[in-house]
Amino acid sequence: MNVSRVAWRRKECALKKSDVVEELLDGRRRAPGASGTAFAPANIALCKYWGKRDDELNLPMTSSLSLSLGALGATTEIAPCDGPADRVWLNGEALSGESPFVRRLTAYLDLYRSGHGYDVHTVSTVPVAAGLASSASGFAALVLALNELYGWELDRKALSILARLGSGSASRSVFDGFVEWHAGARDDGMDSYAERLDVSWPELRLGLLALSSAEKPVGSRDAMKNTRDTGALYAAWPEKVAGDLVEIRGALRDKDVERLGRAAESNALTMHATMLSGWPPILYWLPESVQTLQAVWAARKEGVPVYCTMDAGPNVKLLFLDEDRSRVTERFEGLQLVETNRKGSA
Ligand code: PMV
């Protein structure tokens, strides 16, 4: 059998999102209640998810590890409506059915509906300008709200899998605190879900630096695919992640900010290097991003233990301890501190 025939056979047998939903909701399908409401936090990965082994099911090449952002996130209320079309409001504003956001939501809700539309009201406390992935908290809140609406009573593992089908990083947003998303190895992804780590580190601080709110040139989905398929450096990524995960888990256990910061910063910069090694090359950074990185490195040289991470955008997030807060906020104007220890409410 030649390669294209193998690829075709694999494609033919590939599982769809609907197969996974079918399996998880087996015996739980029922008519919706009046409405369901839930909150889910946004999260920042300390070890990134970058690249999928299955584009349909959002199965990752590697595991990843994140910190949830407390009360920064999305609260979603969902209710069935009379008409066939979904109606979506974001922060009180009705969105056009043609917007990419609503199209993505509608495609996801197709997995659950039986002929009717939904009214979906989402209120997000994630600062739009901070370049935080709103899809993570958005899809996680939606899945938790659907669980309420239908009374499925699914456990967190199943909810994490359903959230992953909406957006990979959403699998981590069904939990507070430090969270690890296990890559898993199965084709159906039933072993690819997130779990909360038994770690409490209230002295660790996360700060957001919003450098640009401009729309990104390439979405994370396309950028990941481009990197995986064309990035000369991507082959090195899984091994880099494996090492960083060991370091980060150890640093969380020992409350060692230097070890954590070094692994998290290096992990983020390596992710960006893999993007640059693809074709077309992808670079999310702006001149301000580079200036900020240089300011972080200068601060460390002068004895301030501050570290950074970046996602698929130009903005920079800082990691440091509470005891260094004034030394860090002095240096980085506009730094927004996140209360990761404060829980959001539904
Ligand atoms: O879940 P997505 O498709 O929005 O991808 C998230 C990708 C990063 O934010 C860059 C990394 C991560 O692990 O959150």
346 falls within a domain? no
Query: How confident is the model over 64-76, as pLDDT tens digits?
Result: 999 999 999 999 9
* Closest alpha carbon to 300 in 319, 285, 272: 319
Average pLDDT over residues 3-30: 77
Crossing angle, helix 17-24 and helix 156-166, to 10 degrees?
160
Is residue 127 pLDDT above 90, yes or no? no
* Residue 165 or residue 129, greater confidence: 165
Residues 49, 174 within the same domain: yes
If one counts the domains in the chain, the total is: 2
323 falls within a domain? yes
Residues 233, 324 within the same domain: yes
343 falls within a domain? no
Give me the pLDDT at residue 341, please: 84
Give me the pLDDT at residue 134, please: 75
Ligand 1 centroid distance, CA of 221 (Å): 8
132 falls within a domain? yes
Is residue 1 pLDDT above 80, yes or no? no
Ligand 1 centroid distance, CA of 50 (Å): 7
- Read off the pTM: 0.94
Give me the pLDDT at residue 3, please: 40
237 falls within a domain? yes
Average pLDDT over residues 133-150: 94
Residues 33, 173 within the same domain: yes
Residue type, 325: R
Query: How confident is the model over 77-103, as pLDDT tens digits?
Result: 999 998 999 999 999 999 999 988 899
Query: What is the pLDDT confidence band of residue 129, given thresholds at 50, 70 and 90?
Result: low
In angstroms, what CA-CA distances link 112 with 98, 249, 260, 268? Answer: 20, 36, 40, 35
345 falls within a domain? no
Give me the pLDDT at residue 216, please: 81
User: pLDDT > 70: what percent of the chain?
Assistant: 93
Residues 239, 179 within the same domain: no
Residues 310, 192 within the same domain: no
Which atom of ligand 1 sits closest to the CA of residue 43?
14
Query: What is the pLDDT confidence band of residue 128, given thresholds at 50, 70 and 90?
Result: low
Give me the pLDDT at residue 226, please: 98
Query: How confident is the model over 276-329, as pLDDT tens digits?
Result: 999 999 999 999 999 999 999 999 999 999 999 999 999 999 999 999 999 999
Residue 151 is part of a domain; what is its CATH number? Answer: 3.30.230.10
Average pLDDT over residues 142-159: 98
Query: How confident is the model over 49-64, as pLDDT tens digits?
Result: 999 999 999 999 999 9
Is residue 228 pLDDT above 50, yes or no? yes
Give me the pLDDT at residue 288, please: 96
Give me the pLDDT at residue 5, please: 41
Residues 112, 181 within the same domain: yes
Residues 161, 34 within the same domain: yes
Which atom of ligand 1 sits closest to the CA of residue 64?
13
Average pLDDT over residues 107-132: 87
Give me the pLDDT at residue 197, please: 98
Both structure tokens of 131: 């370049």
| 43, 46, 47, 50: residue to mutate for ligand 1 pocket, most atoms within 8 A of CB | 50
Average pLDDT over residues 190-201: 98
Residues 301, 166 within the same domain: no
| 43, 44, 49: residue to mutate for ligand 1 pocket, most atoms within 8 A of CB | 49
Count of alpha carbons within 13 Å of 205, Cβ hemisphere only? Answer: 18
Residues 179, 221 within the same domain: no
Last residue of a domain, one of 196, 224, 259: 196
344 falls within a domain? no
Residues 39, 78 within the same domain: yes
Is residue 149 pLDDT above 80, yes or no? yes
Is residue 6 pLDDT above 50, yes or no? no
In terms of residue numbers, what domain contains 159? 4-196
Residue 334 is part of a domain; what is its CATH number? Answer: 3.30.70.890
Which atom of ligand 1 sits closest to the CA of residue 47?
13
| 53, 220, 272, 285: residue to mutate for ligand 1 pocket, most atoms within 8 A of CB | 220
Residues 274, 241 within the same domain: yes
Query: How confident is the model over 171-184, as pLDDT tens digits?
Result: 999 999 999 999 99
48 falls within a domain? yes
> Using a 6 Å CB cutoff, which residues line ligand 1?
45, 48-49, 64, 133, 135-136, 167-169, 220-221, 311-312
Last residue of a domain, one of 180, 196, 212: 196
Last residue of a domain, one of 163, 196, 229: 196
* Residue 49 or residue 340, greater confidence: 49
Ligand 1 centroid distance, CA of 68 (Å): 13
Ligand 1 centroid distance, CA of 218 (Å): 13
Average pLDDT over residues 13-39: 95
The overall average pLDDT reported for the chain is 93
Residues 134, 244 within the same domain: no
